Amino acid sequence: MPFLRVFLLLLLALPCLLNAQEIKYIDLTAVRQRTELRHPPAPQSDCKEGTGCMGSGYGGSILRDGAPNQRDPRVLGIYLMRVTPTDINAAEPFQVEFKILNTGTAPIELPVSPHLSDLQPSDESVAFNYSSLALVVRGEAEPQGPPVDSIGFVELFGSPDHSESMMVLRPGEWIRVSGNVKLLKCPPTPVSARLRGDFWLRRNTFVPHPGGQFIETNNLYPNDTPTPFVAVRLSPPAGSDLPKQ
């Protein structure tokens, strides 16, 4: 982004940032998130007595990807306020405190519920829409260090039919989220690395059918503000505990 554009963006955002405030804190560290979604049972197939009957179903998903719009006034900064411990064994979850700050010049609506299951209609055969926000920890190499490609995340959900599950974050406002993150990928040998905050904001449609389900996902692209790194030491789990790549 050219320097002049950055300067103008900061100038416009300055009055909002001067009035910045935290509006919500979400602690996921002791929460067992409910994320399973229901669908109607599969119809029983014809079978002979004594042979057993098994239903059949299918599932699937599709991701529709858009393109970022650099002129979008909605901008988020995902800060890693705390990473504990900083000497991370990839076999174990570690605790992260995220700060989700609206650094743009327009309000943005975000999902804030830990439980996706609670958003599903009571009728398990009805399709429904929901939003998801993944708060991402992304590992990158130190300057002149060996390559690092590590990632982990926690996720929040919301639905327009459950007003308490969504929140409007105005410019300069932020929420904090604490959660236990486990890396999905890790380096094969111990290495010094840098963690930074990132996010995926998505709109989803869940379509149940007898015996299965289908999920259509659309990526949303508010702009992101680069935030500081946290220095850590990553160690792979031993032997058979190594995560599958």
pLDDT in tens, 31-89: 999 999 999 998 876 455 554 454 456 678 888 887 788 899 999 999 999 999 999 99
pLDDT at position 243, please? 46
| Neighbouring residues of 145: CB distance < 8 A, sequence distance ≥ 6 | 191, 192, 193
DSSP category for residue 6:
H
Question: How far is 199 from 225, CA to CA, in rounded Å?
Answer: 11
Question: How far is 117 from 102, CA to CA, in rounded Å?
Answer: 27
Question: How far is 228 from 103, CA to CA, in rounded Å?
Answer: 14
Residue 118: strand, helix, or coil? helix
User: Is residue 171 within 8 Å of residue 106, measured between CB atoms?
Assistant: yes
Measure the N-to-C terminal CA separation of the chain; round to a whole number of Å.
Answer: 34
pLDDT at position 1, please? 47
Confidence of residue 20 (pLDDT cuts 50, 70, 90): confident
Domain spans in the chain, listed from the N-terminal domain onward: 3-34+58-238
Confidence of residue 242 (pLDDT cuts 50, 70, 90): very low
DSSP category for residue 170:
-
pTM listed for this prediction: 0.84
181-218 confidence digits (pLDDT tens) = 999 987 889 999 999 999 999 999 999 999 999 999 99
Question: How far is 85 from 96, CA to CA, in rounded Å?
Answer: 9
Tokens of 28: 């996921």
Q: What is the mean pLDDT of the chain?
A: 87
Instruction: Give me the percent of the chain exceeding a pLDDT of 90.
Output: 69
Calculated CA dihedral for residues 113, 99, 203, 107, nearest 10 degrees: 100
- Neighbouring-strand partners of residue 21: 173
Question: How far is 103 from 14, CA to CA, in rounded Å?
Answer: 10
Instruction: Give me the percent of the chain exceeding a pLDDT of 70.
Output: 84
pLDDT at position 240, please? 45
Give the DSSP letter string of 49-83. Answer: TTS-------EEEEEE-----TT-S-EEEEEEEEE
Other C-beta atoms closer than 10 Å to the C-beta of 82 total 14
